Amino acid sequence: MDADTHAVEVAFGLPYKQRLVALDVPPGTTAREAVALADLPNLFPELPRDTFDGAPLGIFGQALRDPAQYILAPGDRVEVYRPLLIDPKAARRERAKRQASGTADQS
């Protein structure tokens, strides 16, 4: 790292594989640009190449409203979020239904 760059990280994971890419980026680099520089499609060839293009991003667990405008600070970790396969509220309702029907069957 030289005086004209600062260190950031880009993180992405699947249930069976995670990667944390360390980058030195110039000041003014956005979160979306850092994801492009991390070259995640080559690290996750099992996913479609466009998976990361519009993926939701966050910094240390805080979702970004506009990742293309968020300027990274030294030490930031950009997190690339996967889309949810099922809505968490729907999953809770389904679990509650299964538990309720299981309890009713035992009486």
The residues spanned by each domain of the chain are 6-106
Q: What global pTM score does this model have?
A: 0.76
Q: What is the DSSP string of 53-72?
A: TS--EEETTEE-S-TTTPBP
Rounded CA separation 66/9 (Å): 18
> pLDDT digits over 73-103, tens only?
999 999 999 876 666 677 788 888 888 887 5
> pLDDT digits over 26-80, tens only?
999 999 999 999 999 999 999 998 889 889 999 999 999 999 999 999 999 999 9
Q: Give every CB contact of residue 101 below 8 A, 6+ residues apart in sequence.
A: none
CATH fold, domain 6-106, is Ubiquitin-like (UB roll) (3.10.20)
